[in-house]
Amino acid sequence: MKGAFACALALLAALASGAAPAQAPLPAKPVRLVVGAPPGGANDTAARLVAQHLDLGQPVIVENRNGASQMIAADFVARSPADGSVLFLTSHTGIAIAPVLQKVKTFDPIKSFTAVGLIGTAPLVLVAGPSLPANTVEELIAYAKANPGQVNFGNGGVGTSPHMTGVLFARSSGIQLTSVPYPGEQAAMLDIMAGRIQMMFANASSALPHVRSGKLRGLGVTSDARAAVAPDLPTVAEAGVPGFSAATWLGIVAPAATPPATIARLNEELNRVLALPEVREKLSGHGFSVTRTSPEAFGKLMLDEHGKWGTLIRDANIKSD
């Protein structure tokens, strides 16, 4: 009893003095934030922005392991020590799409990782060019139904966000669309502006400058609610396809067996960084709405997205290149 009383007094004294609880230790070596994309893209930019502000008691180094739509990086992180020293900046592509399309067997996109936290989400913008006689989502659907198979949409290839969102839109609205793959998003938008293809779902940061200049018409955004980067554009759901929702997202995961205390520390530090005005402003410039989450909330998002896009891939019989 005397011992218990002494412990209680010590705890009260610590609380009264404002002492913080001990943080979960990380190994005495640099933390590696692995990105499954080359330098310069949205994933890499976000990783470097976050990494330079993380205070984990160790240097944080961004390591690019590009290839196979993030699968090379994902496999590497899944096999890495589960001690917080190796993290993976991933997206819906790396968790929900590429593993299903490529029938990956070397790791499980849900079971092989533990969620740390979401960085942010970004809508896609449905844009139309001069060759599409439609100014609204409803007019586009009506035109496509009257001309089955005659409306085409540009994208960066099978499994990319613009491609998957276009397939989801076609199935959700009951129309036929023809996919036209390009080496990249900008190449597709150049052909839309030239009238060679008719429409596409493009990342907001790429599409909105052309919409504002009048070279493309914005018909809607794919987010659940109107986007801060384009408040005048309706959501696709409110414009004619109830329940429609799609977005790109970025988040950080760790190997599955990483201790909960370490995950909690990483999540707390990530959320601190995401609250910094400089970080929020720069991510917003790339079309991302910053969202601070718990590991549990991000884990649920990963599971939901894996189910959603995996079901679409199977139902639409989408095959990888």
At 10-42, the pLDDT tens digits run 444 444 444 444 566 789 999 999 999 999 888
- The distance in angstroms from the start CA to the end CA of the chain is 70
Residues 140-188 pLDDT 10s = 999 999 999 899 999 999 999 999 999 999 999 999 999 999 998 889 9
Residue 20: predicted pLDDT: 42
Task: Indicate whether 304 pLDDT > 60.
Answer: yes
Cβ atoms 279, 49 nearer than 8 A: yes
- Measured CA to CA, the distance from residue 37 to residue 288 in angstroms comes to 18
d(CA 91, CA 70): 9
Closest CA to 46 of 110, 116, 121: 121
Per residue in 204-232, pLDDT (tens digit) is 888 999 999 999 999 999 999 999 889 99
User: CATH 3.40.190.150: does it fit domain 30-122+247-315?
Assistant: yes
CATH of the domain spanning 123-221? 3.40.190.10
**Confidence (pLDDT) at 8:** 44
What is the rounded average pLDDT for all residues in the chain? 92
Q: What is the CA radius of gyration of the chain?
A: 22
Residues written for the chain: 321
pLDDT at 23: 67
Question: Where along the chain do the CATH 3.40.190.150 domains lie?
Answer: 30-122+247-315
Task: Look at residue 202 and tell me whether its pLDDT is greater than 60.
Answer: yes
pLDDT beyond 90 at 264? yes
Instruction: Please return the burial class of 219, using the count of CB atoms within 10 Å of its CB with bins 0-12, 13-18 and 19+.
Output: buried
**Ranges for all domains in the chain classified under CATH 3.40.190.10:** 123-221
Is 270's pLDDT higher than 50? Answer: yes
Q: What is the pLDDT of residues 63-108, one digit of tens each?
A: 999 999 999 999 999 999 999 999 999 999 999 999 999 999 999 9
Per-residue pLDDT at 2 = 45
| pTM of the complete model | 0.90
- Check residue 21 and give its pLDDT: 46
Closest C-alpha among 94, 119, 88, 85 to residue 265: 85
Distance CA 32, CA 62 (A): 6
CB atoms closer than 10 angstroms to residue 26: 17
